[in-house]
Amino acid sequence: MSTSAKVFSSSGLASARINIPSEPCVMVIFGASGDLTKRLLIPAIYNLACDNLLSDNFAVLGTATRQMDGAQFREKLSGETDGIKSYHTRPEFDQGVWDSLVERIDFQSGSFDDVEHFKRLKQTVTELDKKYQAGGNILLYFATAPRFFGTICENLSKAGFKDTPGWVRLIVEKPFGTDLASARALNTEIRQYWEEEQIYRVDHYLGKETVQNLLSFRFSNGMFEPLWNNHHIDNIQFNVCESVDVQGRGGYYDSSGVLRDMMQNHMFQMLAYLCMEPPSSFAPDAIRNEKAKLLQSVRVYTEEEVKRNVVRGQYGPAVNDDGDVIKPGYRQEDNVAPDSSTETFAAAKLQIDNWRWEGVPIYLRSGKALWKRGTEIIVEFKRPPQAMFEGTGIDALESNRLVFHIQPDQGIELRFQAKIPGPRLNLQTVDMRFDYGDAFKASRYTGYEVMIYSCTHADSTLFSRGDLVEAAWQVAQPLLDYWQSTPEPNFPNYARGSWGPKAASQLLARDGRRWFEVVTPEVLEKSPLFKGAAPLLLNTVIMALRSTIAEAGDTIITQGEVGSEMYVICHGEVDVLDDQGTIVRTLKDGDCFGEIGLLIAVPRTATIKARTSCDLFVLERTSFSRILRDHPHFAAMVTTIAKDRYDVSLSSHHLSA
C-alpha cells in the first residue's frame, strides 16, 4: 500500500476532498454485461476520469457468461444509444477522455462456476497489471445476483487471486441477503475467503452527496447538535416516495417488496447517519461503529408491536373515466403473482431505545407508484408552550422543522414562524433554505464514483459492514415474519399516484401527528390556480399548506356551514352536490374547492363529498388572506374563479379582510 493510501485510510470521508486520483488497480467486474455496468459503473469511472480523479494506472476487465470479446464490449459501451453517450451525467460529452478510457477496458466471457475461466481471468489481470503498472492491486466488483457470490469467491480463491503483490478488495452489490439468516450465511460464506477489511458492501444511498452531507451537517455545525435529542425533537420522518412502479422488475420485486428493497438498506443507512452518536473521528470504523450501535438500539418488535406500528400497502390499477384500466395494478405487472401479497408500500413507527432518542418516534415511509418522487427527512422539533399566545388569536403554534431534501430536490430547509407585518399579531410559517445547486457548481454524479474511488483508497466509510447489515436485518425480520404468516386481505389498498394507504396516516394520527408532505412547486402547479405562478407565491403557498386525507364517501364540506379553509386535490375525486344532493360537477387532481369560504364569511354554497379516497392540501384563512394581500394578481385569479364557478362577486374589501 502506498503512503497516500495510508493517509486516505485514516482520513475517511476527508479523502474525497483532496484532489488526488484513485489508487492504481485492475477492476474486474463480474456480471459486466448487465445494466449496472453500462448505466452506472462505466459512467462513474468516466466521471472520475473527467475530473482527473482516475489513476492513469487503472484498467477494467469485465466478465459475464454472455459471449463477447473486448472489442465488442468496448463497442457496446461506446454505442450512441445504449452506451456512455446515453448514460453519462456531464453537461458535455468529452470524446477525448472517453477514448483514452475505453482502450483500457477489456472483456472475457465465462461461467462463474468454471474455475478454468477464473484462471484465465487471473492471467489477463496479470497482463493488464503489467501493461498499466497497476501495482498488483485488484478491485473485484460483484455486480451479479447474490446467489453467485459464494461460487465466485471460491473460484477466485482457487484461481489464486489472493496471490498478488498489491491489495485485493471486493465490492458487493445489494441485496445483501434476503433476511437475517441469509445475510448471516452470506457473511460467513464470503468471510471464508476474504477478511472483513477487504469486503465493501455497497448501498448506493451512501454515494449520494445529500446523504453524506447528513454527517457533515450534524458534526461540522455546532448549532444543532445540542438540540439533537429527545428534549427538543418531537419526531423524525423519513420519506422515500417513488412515482415509478416496478418498471418491469416484477420478477425481482415480487420476492423482495419495499421493506427489503428500500427500508432495510437505504432508509436504515440514512436513519443511522441522522441519529448516531458523534464518532470519535471521521475514520471509517469510528463512523461505522456508531452506525452499528445505533441500529442495534432500534427496538426489535414483537408480533404485537409489528401489528400496531407497521402498515403495508400495494398499489392498484389506474382507471380512466370509463372505468378502463390505463395502467396495471401491481398484481397485473409482468412476472408478479396475480394474488401476490408483496408490499409495494410500507410505513413504520420505530423506537430507538437509547438515552438520546428514548420516546422519540421515528416514522419511515416508502413506496412505489406514489404521487411524486421525493426523498426527504423531516426533523420536527417540539412545539413551544401555547399559553403565552392565549388571547392573541393564534390558537395553534406550528413546530419548527428541519427538512433535508435528499432528492430530486437537494438542499436543507429550516421552517419557522415569523410575524406577519401589520398591527396585529399573526404568524406565518417561513423558511430558510440552502440549495446545493445554487451553492455548488459540481457536475452531477451517479453516486458510484465515490464508491469506486473510496474503495481504491481503502476508505470504507461509505460502505456497510457485516455487523451493520445484520443489525438492520434484525429489525426488519419480525416484520417479514409477520407479513409472511399473515397475508394482507385488503390488497391492493392504495391507488396509483396517491399518498399510499389510509392506514399510514392513521398510524400517525393515533399519536396526534401527521405525515409531513413536502409539496414541490411542480405538484402545486398541476392546479390551474397556481399554474405559472411566481416562485415566491408558490413558495408562500407551500409553506402554508397542510395535508389531509378523505376516504370515499366522506363529507369534506357541508353546505350551509361557514368554512375557513380551501382545498387543493393532490389525488382523488370529489363530487360537488347541490341542495338537492345532486352531483353538479366532479373535481379531480389539481382542482381546488372551498376558496370562497376563505374570502367571505358566508355559508358554504355546496356540499363536497369524496368520490374516491382523496389526498388533499388545505390552506387556512389566516395564511390565505395574507397571500391574497401580498399577491394581487393571484387575488384577481381567485376572484375570477369564484365568479365563474359560484357566481359570487368579490369586492376589494373581501380580499383585504
The site for ligand BG6 (CB under 6 A) is made up of 242, 261
Name residues whose C-beta falls within 8 Å of residue 405's C-beta, 6 or more positions apart in sequence.
Answer: 210, 374, 375, 376, 411, 412, 413, 518
266, 405, 571, 654: the catalytic one is: 266
Q: How far is the CB of 241 from ligand BG6 (least distance, A)?
A: 10
Bridge partner residues of 34 (DSSP) = none
Quote the CA–CA distance of 161 and 225 in Å, as a whole number: 46
Q: How far is the CB of 206 from ligand BG6 (least distance, A)?
A: 11
Q: Which is nearer to ligand BG6, 259 or 519 (CB)?
A: 259
Helices (H), 133-262: 149-158, 180-191, 209-220, 250-254, 258
Q: How far is the CB of 249 from ligand BG6 (least distance, A)?
A: 7
Q: How far is the CB of 124 from ligand BG6 (least distance, A)?
A: 31
Cell numbers standing for residue 60: 477494467
Which residue's beta carbon is nearest to the bound ligand BG6?
261
Q: Which is nearer to ligand BG6, 261 or 591 (CB)?
A: 261
Instruction: Compute the radius of gyration of the chain from its Cα atoms.
Output: 28
Of 34, 30, 65, 61, the residue nearest 45 (C-alpha): 61
Quote the CA–CA distance of 404 and 637 in Å, as a whole number: 33
Quote the CA–CA distance of 550 and 611 in Å, as a whole number: 9
Q: Give the strand pairing for 58-64 and 105-109.
A: parallel
Q: Which is nearer to ligand BG6, 376 or 517 (CB)?
A: 376
Quote the CA–CA distance of 410 and 414 in Å, as a whole number: 14
Q: Which is nearer to ligand BG6, 39 or 526 (CB)?
A: 39
Q: Which is nearer to ligand BG6, 137 or 212 (CB)?
A: 212
Q: How many residues does the chain have?
A: 657
Q: Which is nearer to ligand BG6, 35 or 225 (CB)?
A: 35
Residue 266 catalytic? yes
Prior bond of 487 cis (ω within 30°): no
Quote the CA–CA distance of 119 and 160 in Å, as a whole number: 8
Residue entry with cell 444509444: 81
Query: Mapping DSSP to helix (H, G, I), strand (E, B) and coil, where does residue 619 land?
Result: strand
Cell numbers standing for residue 226: 445540542
CB 452 within 8 A of CB 470: no
Q: Give the strand pairing for 574-577 and 607-610.
A: antiparallel
Of 610, 607, 626, the residue nearest 569 (C-alpha): 610
Burial 603-620 (b: 16+ CB within 10 A, else e): ebbbbbbbbbbbbbbbbe
Quote the CA–CA distance of 204 and 480 in Å, as a whole number: 23
Q: Which is nearer to ligand BG6, 517 or 573 (CB)?
A: 517
**For residue 110, is it left (φ>0), alpha (ψ between -120 and 50) or beta?**
left
Residue entry with cell 489513476: 55
Q: How far is the CB of 43 from ligand BG6 (least distance, A)?
A: 14
Of 204, 148, 144, 195, the residue nearest 167 (C-alpha): 195
Q: How far is the CB of 255 from ligand BG6 (least distance, A)?
A: 12
Q: How far is the CB of 445 from ligand BG6 (least distance, A)?
A: 12
Q: Which is nearer to ligand BG6, 210 or 289 (CB)?
A: 210
Report residue 171 CA to chain centroid gap.
Answer: 22
Of 303, 300, 297, the residue nearest 272 (C-alpha): 297
Q: How far is the CB of 240 from ligand BG6 (least distance, A)?
A: 7
Q: Which is nearer to ligand BG6, 261 or 615 (CB)?
A: 261
Of 252, 246, 258, 240, the residue nearest 369 (C-alpha): 246
Q: How far is the CB of 242 from ligand BG6 (least distance, A)?
A: 6
Q: Which is nearer to ligand BG6, 242 or 565 (CB)?
A: 242
Task: Give the CA distances from residue 96 to residues 63, 88, 103, 255, 388, in Å, rounded to whole numbers and listed in that order.
Answer: 25, 14, 11, 44, 67
Q: Which is nearer to ligand BG6, 242 or 413 (CB)?
A: 242
Amino acid identity at 130 = K
Q: How far is the CB of 466 from ligand BG6 (least distance, A)?
A: 20
Quote the CA–CA distance of 631 and 622 in Å, as a whole number: 15
Quote the CA–CA distance of 508 and 323 in Å, as a whole number: 33
Distance in angstroms between the alpha carbons of the first and the last residue of the chain = 73
Q: Give the strand pairing for 362-367 and 345-350.
A: antiparallel
Q: How far is the CB of 407 from ligand BG6 (least distance, A)?
A: 6
Q: Which is nearer to ligand BG6, 328 or 594 (CB)?
A: 328
Q: How far is the CB of 201 from ligand BG6 (least distance, A)?
A: 13
Cell numbers standing for residue 448: 458510484
Query: Mapping DSSP to helix (H, G, I), strand (E, B) and coil, where does residue 329 land?
Result: coil
Q: Residues with catalytic annotation?
A: 266
